[in-house]
Structure 1
Amino acid sequence: MSEEGETLLDSKVDKHHSHGTEVMASRAERLTSQRVEDFKVPSGLEEEWRFTPVKKLKEFFIDVDAGAEAFSTALEGAEQLSVSTLSIGQSPRGIALVPADRAAAVASAHTAEATFLDIPANAELSEPVKLTVTGQGAGQRANAHYVVRAGANSRAVVIFDHRGTADFSGNLEVIVGEGAELTVVSVQRWDDEAKHLGQHDAVVGKDAKYKHVAVSLGGALIRLNVNARYTGEGAEAELFGLYFADAGQHLEHRTFIDHNVPNSKSNVLYKGALQGTDAHTVWVGDVLIQKQAIGTDSYEKNQNLILTDGARADSVPNLEIETGLIEGAGHASSTGRFDDEHLFYLMARGISERDARRLVVRGYLNEVIQKIKVPALEEELAEALERELEASGAL
C-alpha cells in the first residue's frame, strides 16, 4: 500500500496482553494432544474460543468419522515431487503438527491416510504445486490431513485452494529442511454456506525460509490457526494474511510464532476489510521468544479497514519475551475507517467517491497479494478481490 493509502486509515492502536482481569497463560503452555478425549467440547467461554461462534460448529467436535464423499481433491504440478499417503503414527506425520484444539484432534484421528507431498532435496520446482479441495455439498462433514516436506536446499511453492461447500476441518503440517525455501498459500474462496476450521503448523530448519499466505474471501465461517517454530539457527518464517468479510461472515485467523532457537527471524502481517451487518473478523497473533532464543528478530502487525456500520474487527497481538538478548521484537494493531479529508483529496482530482474508495481498498489489500511472488496466482486473486469489491454495496 502506498504511503498516501496508509494515511486513509483513521487508526487506533490497540495492544493487548490480557483479557479483563484474566491473566493469559503462556502460549507454549496451552494443551496439545493427539487424543480427542483430552479436549473438552468448547463452550465459547474459553480464551481460545471467546471470539468464535462455537454454537455453529457443534458438528466439528463430534468424535466420529466424516464422509469421504464430502469433498474431492485435484493435484496439479506434482511431476517433480513424490506423492503418497501416511497413516496415523507413520513418520513424518506428526513431526510438525500436534492438534491444539478438539476440532483439529478430530480431523487428525479420523483421517486414516494423510496426503504426503515430498519435495526432494535440492529440487527447484519451476511451477507451483496446486491442490484444489472442492466441497460437495452444504452441511457435509469432511476431515483432512496434509503433510508437506521440503527437502534440504529445495525451492518450491505449494497452493491449497478451497472451493465449493462443506463443513471442512483440515490439518496441514509443513517440514522445511535445512536451507530450503518454501511458500505455502492457503486460499479460502468457499461458497456462502461453507465452514472451515484448520490448523497449519510448520517446523523450519537451519537457514531455511518459510512463507505462509492465507487468503480468506468466501465461506460463512472460517477459523485458521497458523503456527511456526524452528529447528535450527538462521531460520526465517513469514506469515501473511488477507481477508475481506461481507455481511454475516465470520473470518478468524490466529498466528503463533515460537522462537525456540537462537538467531531466528519472523514477520507477521495480516490485513483485512469488512463491510455489511454482522461482518466479523478476528486476528489473534502470539509471539513467544524463549529464554534460549537470543538474537531473535520478530515483528507482527494487523490492520483492519471497516467500510460500513454494523461490521466488527477484533485484533489482539500478544508478545511474550523471556530474554532481553534479542535484535528486536514488536507488534502493532490498527482498526479504522476511511479518512473523509483524504477521500475528498482524491475526489477533488476528478475521481468519484465510489472509485476512490475502491482504489484505496484495492491498494490496501494488494500489499499482501504481492507477497506471494507467483504472478499467475497474484493476478487470479487480484481478480477475485475485484469481484468482491464490485459486489460490495459499500463501495
Structure 2
Amino acid sequence: MSAPVTVTTSSAPDGPKAHSDGGWALVPVQVRSARFSSFEVGDFDAVTGQELEWKRTPIAKVLPLTGGDLDGSELPITLPSVEGATIEWIDRSDARIGSAGKPEERASANAWSGFEKALAVTIGGETPVTIAIDRSGLGTAPRGAHTVITAKHHSRGTVVLDGSGDALLSENVEIVLEEGAELTVVSVQEWNRGGIHLASHFAEVGRDARLKHVVVSLGGEVVRLNPSVHLSAEGGEVELYGVYFADAGQHLEQQVFVNHDAPNTRSRVSYKGALQGIGAHTVWVGDVLIRPTASGTDSYEQNRNLLLTDGARADSVPNLEIETGDIAGAGHASASGRFDDEQLFYLQARGIAEEDARRLVVRGFLAEIIQKIGSPELETRLHDKIEAELTGNEENRP
C-alpha cells in the first residue's frame, strides 16, 4: 500500500510542478489522479514517446491517430434492432456526450475533437437484452469514433463491440450506469494483421450499479485499449477483465484506472495474457485510487502473463494509491513467467504429447477470463481463435 500522496500541478500536462520541498522543477506526474485532461486536442503537446502514458507504446505506428486529421463520419456499420434498447446516431451536441469522462491523452482528445456523429446505445428495461455491434470493413484511412452506452435505472444488458478486418481507428467509448443497473460491456479486437486501434473507455457507475467490462485483444498490429472507471456513488461495483494473445511483432496494451470516490464500493481487476514469437509485446498498467471519501472500499487487481517463447516481452505495472485508512481491503498482484514444468510433466506422465500438453495449459490459463463473458457462442469462438494461434505458430518455439 502506498501512503497518501498530494501533488500540485500546473495546467500543462508535463509542465512545472510544485515540489514538496518548495522548489520548482520539471517533475513528471507520478500519481494517476494528477493526470491532465481536456476535450481539446490542441491542449496536449505532440506525442514524442517520452510521456509517462506513451513510453511503452510504438509511437511511430500510432502517430497518424494522435494528432492528424481523422474521418469522423458515421462508421460504415449496420445498426441492429433490439427490443428493449435504442441504437442510434446522435449529434455532438447531445447531452449524453461527455457525461462519463474526459480525455487524458492526445489520441483520445483527437478522436473527441474530430467525430461528427456518436453511436448511442440505450438500454431501458429490466428484461436482459444483448446487443452486438459488428465493426468490420472500416478500411485503412485514419478514423475517429465515439460511442455512448447508457444503462437506465435498474436495467439489465450486454453490449458487445466486435472489431475485425482492417482498421486505423482512434475512439472513445462512454459507459453510464444509472442507479441499480447491471451492464456487461465486451470489446473484442480481432483486427487484421496491420490493424491499429487506440481506444479510451470511460465508465460512470451509479448507486448500487454493477458493471462488468471485458477486453479481448487477439488481432491487430497495435491495440491499446484503456478503461477508466469512476465509482461515484455508494454501493457501486465493477469487474474489469482482460484476455490477450500477442504473436510475433504484435503490441497489445491496456492501462486500467479504477477511481473509488464513494463509500462501500467494490472493484475486481483481472487481466491474463499469453505471448509467443519474436517482438511479441504486451503492456498492462493497473492504477487503483481510493479517495478519502471512499470508506469501506474493497479492491483487488491482478495481472498474469505466460511467455511461451524467447523474444517475447510482458510489461506489468500495478499501482495502488490509498488516501483513507477506513477500507475493507485493497491489494494487487502481478506475475510473468514461462510454463510450469510440473504441469507439463503431470500431463505428459498421463500420455499426453508435449505439444498437446502445452496447448492445454495455455487454454486453461486463459479460459478463466473468457468464461466471464457469459456468452457461450462468443466464448466458443474465442477458444477456437486461441487454438488456431497455438497450432499455427509452434515453429516459433525454441
What's the TM-score once normalised by structure 2's chain length? 0.90
Paired position in structure 2 for 1:11: none
1:348-363 superposed matches below 5 A = 348-363=349-364
Deviation at 1:23, TM superposition (A): 7.0
Change (3 A) 1:303 1:157: same
Kindly report which structure 2 residues correspond to 1:246-261, keeping only aligned pairs within 5 A, or say none. Answer: 246-261=247-262
The aligned runs of 1:25-104 (5 Å cut-off) are: 25-66=30-71, 68=73, 72-104=76-108
User: Alpha-carbon deviation of 1:301?
Assistant: 0.2
| Contact preservation (8 Å) 2:72, 2:116 | no
Cα shift readout 1:307-333 (whole Å, capped 9, x = no counterpart): 000000000000000001000000000
Give the superposition deviation at 1:125: 2.9
2:121 counterpart of 1:130: no
* C-alpha RMSD over aligned residues: 1.7
Task: Check if 1:214 corresponds to 2:219.
Answer: no
Given the superposition, is the C-alpha separation of residues 103 and 23 from structure 1 closer, same or farther in structure 2, using an over 3 Å criterion? closer
Which region of structure 1 is more displaced relative to structure 2, 263-272 or 85-94? Answer: 85-94
Q: Percent identity?
A: 50
Deviates more, 1:302-311 or 1:45-54: 45-54
Superposition map of 1:167-206 within 5 A: 167-206=168-207
Cα distance in 2, alignment partners of residues 231 and 344 from structure 1:
49
Write the deviation string for residues 21-69 of structure 1: whole angstroms up to 9, x where unpaired. Answer: x875321110111111111121111111110111211111224242748
Structure 1 residue aligned with 2:111: 107
Alignment of 1:248-327 (within 5 A): 248-327=249-328
Distance apart, 1:217 and its partner CA: 0.1
CA distance, structure 1, for counterparts of residue 55 and residue 93 of structure 2 = 32
Q: CA deviation at 1:355?
A: 0.3
Higher relative contact order (CA 8 A, sep 6+): 1
C-alpha spacing 1:88/1:249, structure 2 compared with 1 (3 Å): same
- Looking at structure 1, the residues matched to 352 and 297 of structure 2 have their Cα atoms a distance apart, in angstroms, of 45
Given the alignment of the two structures, is residue 230 of structure 1 paired with residue 234 of structure 2, yes or no?
Answer: no
Aligned-partner Cα distance in 1 for 2:328–2:173: 31
- Alignment: residue pair count: 371
CA–CA distance in structure 2, aligned partners of residues 257 and 209 of structure 1? 14
Distance in 2, Cα, partners of 1:266 & 1:130: 25
C-alpha distance in 2 between matches for 1:133 and 1:45: 32
Which has the larger displacement, 163-172 or 375-384? 375-384
Amino acid at match of 1:137: G
- What's the TM-score once normalised by structure 1's chain length? 0.91
**Cα contact 2:40–2:112 (8 A) shared by 1:** no
Contact 2:71–2:114 at 8 Å: present in 1 too? Answer: yes
| Contact preservation (8 Å) 2:69, 2:142 | no
Amino acid at match of 1:48: E
Once the two structures are TM-superposed, the CA of residue 241 in structure 1 deviates from its matched residue by 0.1
Paired amino acid for 2:36: L
Cα 1:39/1:135, change in 2 over 3 Å: farther
CA contact (8 A) 2:160 2:187 kept: yes
Which letter maps to 1:327? A
Shift of 1:135: 3.5
Report how far residue 342 of structure 1 moved: 3.0
Q: Is the 8 A contact 1:142 1:167 kept in 2?
A: yes
User: What letter is aligned with 2:312?
Assistant: A
Q: What's the counterpart of residue 17 of structure 2?
A: none
Judged with a 3 Å threshold, the aligned counterparts in structure 2 of structure 1 residues 235 and 136 are, in CA distance, closer, same or farther, namely closer
Match of 2:15 in 1: none
Query: Which residue of structure 1 aligns with residue 20 of structure 2?
Result: none
Q: Distance in 2 between matches of 1:86 and 1:355?
A: 50
